[in-house]
Structure 1
Amino acid sequence: MQPLRPDEPRQLGPYRLIAALGEGGMGRVLLGIAPDGRLVAVKQVHAQFAHDPGFRERFRREVATSRLVSGAYTAAVMDADPEAETPWLASVFVTGPSLKEAGPLPVDSLRHLATGLAAALLDIHRAGLIHRDLKPSNVLLTDDGPRVIDFGIARAVEDGQELTGTGAIIGSPAFMSPEQAGTAPVTPASDVFSFGALMVMAATGQGPFTGTTTAQTLYNVVHNQPDLSAVPPEIRRFVEPCLAKNPAHRPTPAQLLDFLGHVPPGTTPWPEHVHAQIRRQDAEVRTALSLPLPAWQPPPPKPRPAKKRRRWIWAVSAAVLAVALVAGTVTIYRVAQSAKAERDAPPPLSIQDALTPERLLRADPCKVLDSEYTPDERPVYTHRCKYTGTKGVEFDLVLGDALETTGIRTSPTVIDGQGVLLNDISGGCEAMVRLPTRPQSSVMIYNSSRDGDPCAIAETAMTEALKRLRDPVVDRQTWPGSLLPVDPCSVLDDATAQKIVGAAVKPAPQALRRCEWAAQDTLSISLDHGAPDTEGEEVDIGGIPVRRKETNSSGSKLCALAWVHVKPSAREGDNVRLTYYSATGGDACAKAEEAAKAVIPKLPKP
């Protein structure tokens, strides 16, 4: 536990902050006090994620689902603000060292650990989540058993294509599953593989696949059998099947609990040195609480979108009638002009043309729902808009994001020939329609309310959205050289991508305005509108001032470049963000700059 830095806030939301607990790949963890006196662990997200709209979207949705997890062996999420300038998350604070700090454990403690971890995974999977980053630093040893932290939130970092605590994408190399290390779909069985690797480390002090480099460790995870020679036989019996390369051959958390049986009540779970660490942490917390606390300030209320004035049809009709009585000739002329304008207006698009990525890039999401839906007056994202419907029901409309397949089901509803998919595991409901030419992406409406039938309400809004998307009236106004109509997957040809990444790769859209080229290394390009990046050193690339920031972690490197392409207003501009991740520690910035030099000539001229 460390004192707060001078530049750190003393309050986030309603929580007063009193000390720093640690820092990871996603953010800095701070000790806070709730207004009712409870202690909380507040994770403040790193600024690099806050600038990524895709990360914010995933963070919001994963936080909502994570709140459904409430088991004896998890640290429950209490509060969060994904829309804050720097997003944060508050969870229940518990004292105890991480498994990483505990050292090898005896057999009795290993059985306590296995039972607690299996129960935690059962609760997490029941909520529709996959942890994806089960590693020693995400398991705390408390007086009455283990606690799993950061459940589900690792997904947000994955979709942001940033680094976790060990510097690897989507988890920690020594504890990730072969599916995560490769390209296969990730399922709850992936967490069971991580459970097995974690148990080996807890028994021996070393993971079963650890190599001399990150690349060697990943190769061992995918291709080599684990080294279990030092694992006690009674532990090896249930750990070995968890480490099967084929996910279908691994046991489920429920099967593990059946095998492990009941833990005798009243037994001390850990060796004495672990309980001594817990007592020391308790004393540190008491010391921190004895110091003068920062004054509590009520958090400012979140502004609600202004209500749109109703269109009083009877008043308009009366006005038209009055004009007709006074100046019939003028009225007839105007009606004729209106009819001509209607004849000359562009015809509505077919639903297939309306749902292409090229069309959605042009669409303003805050014009897609009308009449009974009031859009946010100052939307944060260019591909998403928040609406308030009747009786205060709130919707999020998202254009072109990657389709999340976990927990979805097919609705009997068909809208304009398009099938609807539903996901209601978070308590509200998401209604989604696949893009015909990009079925891994969708138009989505998220109804966060649990009142009535959330899915029926979301489907009604989706009917209105698909109708409006066919109308050219929803096209946004752009400016010369604007990046908003540009597909980020189109700014790099296959040959150039292969030369830079070092393998034959195809562009993979991650969101409407973000694309990546992934092999062993990963190149990601985002074209969007908003506040420019100000972090990193300024360098010149092709005569353009570019912000460059490099991050090194565990032998891997990440280089991020950002520059303003067009700046139509004083505060915001069309921004290019380009990142290159090297798993083997190559010169990531040289690769990123090579990609930038290839991309710049393909962007529209201002």
Structure 2
Amino acid sequence: MHVVLRFRATAVVAAAALLMAGCATGPGLAKTHSPRRTVQAGADASSTDPSTKPSAQPNKPVDPAFAAERMRLVNPCALIDKDVLQTVGTPSRYTSSNYTRCSNYMKDKAGKTLNISVDVGYTLTSTDLKNANKQLAGLKSSEQKLTSSCFVTAVTQENPGQALRIQVSTGSGNEAVADTCEPSRKVLEGAVRKAKGNPQKYTPLKGSPVEVDPCAIVDRATLAPVVGASPRSLAFGLHQCSWSGQGASMELEFKTARIPKDGKFDRDSAEVDLGGVKGYQVLKDGPFPTCELVVVRTKDSSDAGEIAEFQVGASKEKTTDRCQAAQAFAKAVLPALPSA
């Protein structure tokens, strides 16, 4: 059964969630504040590069089921379906704030707090891959245990490094689960099994960029004027890609968002014409001034939708017109996206 990308926005600050009954709908499109991992020119490759000296074949998953083109359409909530969560407790409502993350704030079998989240296509650094020295569900795996939470990953691709990741966090005092890694392993085993099977998938709305590989859609001619003929390319997750070189960087990300009534994603945003398509840009100052340009791709009656975000940044020493470059970037890419 395929699931249509239908979105509803709520008024919850910073992480509004779509309630999902049995994973029967798509992800919520409320604006979230997940950490940005833009790589500035000259940044240390070892800090973000999934594999500084990769030996695995590029873009080859450890199993065809985990191919990026397939996983972009997998509804993450379907990977932690109720039959998976019931192995560790009593599921509650599903919440999803982007294409590849889903959470369930539930209770364990003793009634204690057990908050579970799954991330699909989670980016791994070279250090993460090195630390994946365990085995879980037939895949290389790693664990990171903190005071009240546990992160367990199963490597689905080595070059660049990607994984299915489960995060389990608990409460404090009498609400605390003693070992958060035990339910993490169980849920991840179930998620891997679901991913290898026939999980529910999104049926993209007209104009949706959810299936598009952001790293593959941008050609060298578009990149060269800003980052040179041979920029360093880095993929983050399944829907974000950046390029850096010559003291500058470019980034393209497809994501879900709450669409403001006035179109301004930032109070200082200015509307620009991209050849018959509206864009909203803002120049962010700082040590690495960056122009952010947002183009709405889908929008429903509740103002929830999907966007393409283009960024061009450069060191202060460079005289690059960052917003003009961002507009050229968008104009080059938009014709290759699915028609709205």
Q: Which TM-score applies when normalising by structure 2?
A: 0.72
- Contact kept, 8 Å, 2:220 with 2:229, in 1: the verdict is no
1:185 corresponds in structure 2 to: 46
RMSD of aligned alpha carbons: 3.2
1:414 corresponds in structure 2 to: 136
1:588 corresponds in structure 2 to: 322
1:429 corresponds in structure 2 to: 150
Could you tell me the percent identity over the aligned residues? 22
Q: Which TM-score applies when normalising by structure 1?
A: 0.42
> Which structure carries more relative contact order (alpha carbon 8 Å, separation 6+)?
2
2:311 corresponds in structure 1 to: 579
2:282 corresponds in structure 1 to: 549
In the alignment, structure 1 residue 512 sits paired with structure 2 residue 238: yes
Unmatched segments (≥5 aa) in structure 2: 1-12, 16-29, 49-60, 86-90, 171-175
- Contact kept, 8 Å, 2:271 with 2:278, in 1: the verdict is yes
Distance (whole Å) between structure 1 residues aligned to residue 147 and residue 118 of structure 2: 16
- Contact kept, 8 Å, 1:433 with 1:443, in 2: the verdict is yes
Distance (whole Å) between structure 1 residues aligned to residue 69 and residue 280 of structure 2: 29
1:448 corresponds in structure 2 to: 169
Local SS of the residue matching 1:482? coil
Structure 1 residues 473 and 407: CA distance shift in structure 2, 3 A? closer
Distance (whole Å) between structure 1 residues aligned to residue 297 and residue 43 of structure 2: 35
- Contact kept, 8 Å, 1:400 with 1:443, in 2: the verdict is yes
Task: Render the CA deviation track for 1:102-122: whole Å, top value 9, x for unaligned.
Answer: xxxxxxxxxxxxxxxxxxxxx
- Contact kept, 8 Å, 1:407 with 1:425, in 2: the verdict is no
Structure 1 residues 574 and 407: CA distance shift in structure 2, 3 A? closer
Question: How far is 1:429 from its partner?
Answer: 1.2
Unmatched segments (≥5 aa) in structure 1: 1-46, 52-83, 88-155, 163-168, 170-179, 188-349
- Contact kept, 8 Å, 1:429 with 1:448, in 2: the verdict is yes
1:119 corresponds in structure 2 to: none
Report the AA paired with residue 443 of structure 1.
L
In the alignment, structure 1 residue 567 sits paired with structure 2 residue 285: no
Distance (whole Å) between structure 1 residues aligned to residue 167 and residue 95 of structure 2: 19
Question: How far is 1:161 from its partner?
Answer: 2.8
Distance (whole Å) between structure 2 residues aligned to residue 488 and residue 496 of structure 1: 13
Structure 1 residues 376 and 478: CA distance shift in structure 2, 3 A? farther
Local SS of the residue matching 1:489? coil
Distance (whole Å) between structure 1 residues aligned to residue 311 and residue 199 of structure 2: 35
- Contact kept, 8 Å, 1:362 with 1:485, in 2: the verdict is yes
Equivalent residue runs for 1:96-495 within 5 Å: 159-161=36-38, 181-186=42-47, 352-370=63-81, 371-373=83-85, 374=91, 376-387=93-104, 388=106, 390-391=108-109, 392-403=113-124, 405=127, 409-410=131-132, 412-415=134-137, 417-425=138-146, 427-436=148-157, 438-449=159-170, 451-495=177-221
Task: Render the CA deviation track for 1:83-125: whole Å, top value 9, x for unaligned.
Answer: x9787xxxxxxxxxxxxxxxxxxxxxxxxxxxxxxxxxxxxxx
Larger radius of gyration: 1
Task: Render the CA deviation track for 1:121-168: whole Å, top value 9, x for unaligned.
Answer: xxxxxxxxxxxxxxxxxxxxxxxxxxxxxxxxxxx86x3439xxxxxx
The alignment covers a number of residue pairs equal to 278
Distance (whole Å) between structure 1 residues aligned to residue 77 and residue 241 of structure 2: 23
Question: How far is 1:503 from its partner?
Answer: 3.9
Q: Which has the higher strand share?
A: 2
Q: Which has the higher helix share?
A: 1
Pick one of 271, 290, 293 that aligns with 1:538: 271
Question: How far is 1:453 from its partner?
Answer: 2.9
Local SS of the residue matching 1:436? strand
Question: Once structures 1 and 2 are overlaid, which stretch shifts more, 518-527 or 448-457?
Answer: 448-457
Distance (whole Å) between structure 2 residues aligned to residue 551 and residue 539 of structure 1: 16
1:76 corresponds in structure 2 to: none
Distance (whole Å) between structure 2 residues aligned to residue 418 and residue 430 of structure 1: 15
Pick one of 253, 256, 270 that aligns with 1:526: 253
Report the AA paired with residue 524 of structure 1.
E
